[in-house]
Amino acid sequence: MANLRQIFEDFNTLNILIVGDVMLDSYIWGAVERISPEAPVPIVNVKKRDVRLGGAANVALNVQALGAKPILVALCGDDDAGKRLKQIISDQKLSTEGIVVSAARPTTVKTRVIASSQHIVRVDDESDKASSAEEEKELLKKIEKLLPSCQAVIFEDYDKGVLSATLIEQTVTLAQKHGTPTIVDPKKRNFLSYKQVTLFKPNLKEMREGLKIELEAGNLSQLETAINLLKDKLNVEGVMATLSEHGVYIDYQNEKVKLPAHTRQIADVSGAGDTVVSIAALCVALKLSPGLIAGLSNLGGGLVCQYVGVVPIDKDELLEEAQKVGTLV
C-alpha cells in the first residue's frame, strides 16, 4: 500500500497553474417563518451574509488546503465585485499576478439564499460571452510566464468565456513542451476542445451533453463505451468520470478502476467537482497510480458534500479518512 502520509507531504512541494473562470460565491443565510402575501414564495429573514471565492478560485483554495501552491490565471471585471474578488484572493495569501482585469465584462457573482440548511434560490450576475482577442492575448501572456514553474495545469471551465478553443490549444501545447500534465474539469461549450490533455474529468451530465449520447449512471457498459468514444475524439491520455452516488470510474495508463461512493449525509454538492479535480491534479503531478488518483479524489469529493456551501477540503480530515479506508484501489 502507498505511504499516504508521504504522499500528503509531497503535495507541499507542488505548484499548480489553474486557468479558468473565477467568481464570487455570495451567501445569504436566514430563516423562513412565513409565506409572502405578494406571491407564493417564502420570506427569508436574513441572519448572516458571506462572500467566498468560487469557480477556479475555489479550486485554488482546495489546492492550497492540500498544501500545494496554486497560481490562478483568470479574468475579472473592472467593478466593485472584481476589486472584492482580488482582495479576498490576496487575503487568502494567494497571488493575483495572473488575474486579468477587463472593463468589458462583469465579475461573476452567484448569490445563494439558504434557510434552515435548505437552498431556496440562486441569483447569478454574470456574462458568459467569449473572451475578446485582447483579453485572450493577455491571458496567454500570463500563462507563458507562470506555467514553466508549475508541476500541473488545471483547466477549470465554467462556460463563462475565459477558456476558448484557441487558448486551450496554446496552453496544452506549452504544457507538453515543458512536460507538464494537464487536467480538465470541462463544461459544455468547450467539451470537445480539450485535445491531447493528460486527464479529462467530466461528470455524467457533461458526458451526456458533450457527446450527445444516452448514458445511465449505473450502466457500466454504456459508461465504458462513452469513455472510449471520448478518448478517441480527444486523444486524451486518461478519463476520470465522476458518477455522483455511483462513485467514480477512471481509465488511465492502461488501468480501469471503478470505485463506489462512500456513504455520507449529503448537505450540499456545490464545489465537490472543484475538490475532486484539485486532488486529481496533485496526484497526477506526483505520478500516482490511477487507483490512488480515483480513490483520493472520490473520498475528498464526498467529504466536502457534508458541509453547506462551497468549502475547500480539509487535508487532515482527508488523510484520516484515507487511512481509515485502508486500501483505496
DSSP per-residue string spanning 118-181: EEEEEEEE---PPPPHHHHHHHHHHHHHHGGG-SEEEEE--SSSS--HHHHHHHHHHHHHTT--
The secondary structure of 33-62 as a DSSP string is EEE-SSSSSEEEEEEEEEEEEEEHHHHHHH
Beta strands in 186-247 (DSSP E): 199-200, 238-242
Mark whether 21 is an active-site residue. no
DSSP calls for 84-104 = HHHHHHHHTT---TTEEEETT
Q: Which of 159, 274, 314, 316 is catalytic?
A: 274
Between CA 233 and CA 260 the distance in angstroms is: 27
Three-state DSSP at 16 gives strand
- In 3-state terms the chain splits into helix, strand, coil percentages (rounded to 5) of 40, 25, 35
Quickly tell me which residue has 482527508 as its cell: 318
Tell me which amino acid residue 231 is: K
> Residue 187: which residues within 8 A CB-CB, separation 6 or more?
157, 158, 159, 206
- Where in the sequence numbering do the catalytic residues fall? 274
